[in-house]
């Protein structure tokens, strides 16, 4: 099976469209999404529709939960809170129902999907230290886990100590487990504004990093036109 793995789309329709077009050129069997379809961007409703039409397997992100009032928006900074409140006004009952149906963790073909970490996923903690990553491995029931949340693509391997790196192509060793942060489709923060996603070939146990150019300015300008925080628009262009 060939999967494409998306994360942190954040209402950026232009980036999502470009990623699906890029993935479609090579072909894929299924879409996996590690959450945060909404938040920050100007097209949350349209992004939900695209993901839903792809029949993607989706887990809940913290922005998805915040829109549903399943986590307090006091947890977020001012720009994120304003974006969440604006997003709530754009979504229909059917959109909210779709977000609400997403679980915190899903497993498909011995692969775990979670927005933040297999350890206490309801708290949406970041994998900021090697201790955080080790906790993730300690609570991981499969050999491979895809996460999002930080908007930084990175791969972790359960060596001693934990190894971390980023490669365009990586074959999972048979005696190791990996946690892979898939970066962000709609708002990368690693100083590369190109949309980011991953491909996973389950039979070969091979993971590919993909970066996709797209026209940043319409996505950025729509954020400003909607009255969303200007920081959201700048981050799309700067990639951080």
pLDDT digits (tens, 9 = 90+) for 5-58: 999 999 999 999 999 999 999 899 999 999 999 999 999 999 999 999 999 999
Domain ranges of the chain: 2-238
Q: How far apart are CA 167 and CA 215, in angstroms?
A: 25
pLDDT score recorded for residue 120 = 95
CA angle 53–16–106, rounded 5-degree value = 60
pLDDT digits (tens, 9 = 90+) for 127-185: 999 999 999 999 999 999 999 999 999 999 999 889 999 999 999 999 999 999 999 99
- The pLDDT of 64-73, averaged and rounded, is 96
pLDDT score recorded for residue 101 = 98
Dig out the tokens for 173 from the structure.
Answer: 């060793």
pLDDT digits (tens, 9 = 90+) for 197-226: 999 999 999 999 999 999 999 999 999 999
Dig out the tokens for 23 from the structure.
Answer: 């993935």
Question: What's the CATH architecture for 2-238?
Answer: 4-Layer Sandwich (3.60)
Backbone angles phi, psi at 169, to 5 degrees: -140, 135
Residue 237 pLDDT exceeds 90 = yes
Nearest alpha-carbon partner for 149 in 104, 212, 193, 191: 104
pLDDT score recorded for residue 185 = 98
Residue 75 pLDDT exceeds 90 = no
Q: How far apart are CA 29 and CA 59, in angstroms?
A: 18
pLDDT score recorded for residue 26 = 83
pLDDT digits (tens, 9 = 90+) for 139-151: 999 999 999 999 9
């Amino acid at each position: 099976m060939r999967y494409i793995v998306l994360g942190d789309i954040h209402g950026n329709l232009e980036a999502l469209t470009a990623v699906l077009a890029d993935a479609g050129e090579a072909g894929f069997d299924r879409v996996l999404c590690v959450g945060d379809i909404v938040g920050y961007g100007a097209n949350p409703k349209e992004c939900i529709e695209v993901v839903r039409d792809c029949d993607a397997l989706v887990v809940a992100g913290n922005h998805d939960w915040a829109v549903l009032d399943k986590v307090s928006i006091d947890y977020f900074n001012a720009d994120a809170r304003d974006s969440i409140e604006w997003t709530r006004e754009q979504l229909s009952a059917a959109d909210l129902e779709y977000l609400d149906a997403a679980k915190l963790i899903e497993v498909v073909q011995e692969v775990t999907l979670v927005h933040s970490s297999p350890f206490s996923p309801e708290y949406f903690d970041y994998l900021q230290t090697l201790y955080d990553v080790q906790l993730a491995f300690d609570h991981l029931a499969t050999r491979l886990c895809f996460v999002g949340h930080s908007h930084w693509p990175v791969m972790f391997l359960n060596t001693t100590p934990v190894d971390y790196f980023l490669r365009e192509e990586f074959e999972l060793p048979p005696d190791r487990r990996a946690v892979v942060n898939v970066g962000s489709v709609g708002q990368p923060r690693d100083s590369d504004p190109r949309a980011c996603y991953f491909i996973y070939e389950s039979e070969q146990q091979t993971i590919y990093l993909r970066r996709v150019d797209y026209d940043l300015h319409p996505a950025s300008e729509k954020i400003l036109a909607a009255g969303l925080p200007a920081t959201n628009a700048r981050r799309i262009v700067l990639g951080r």
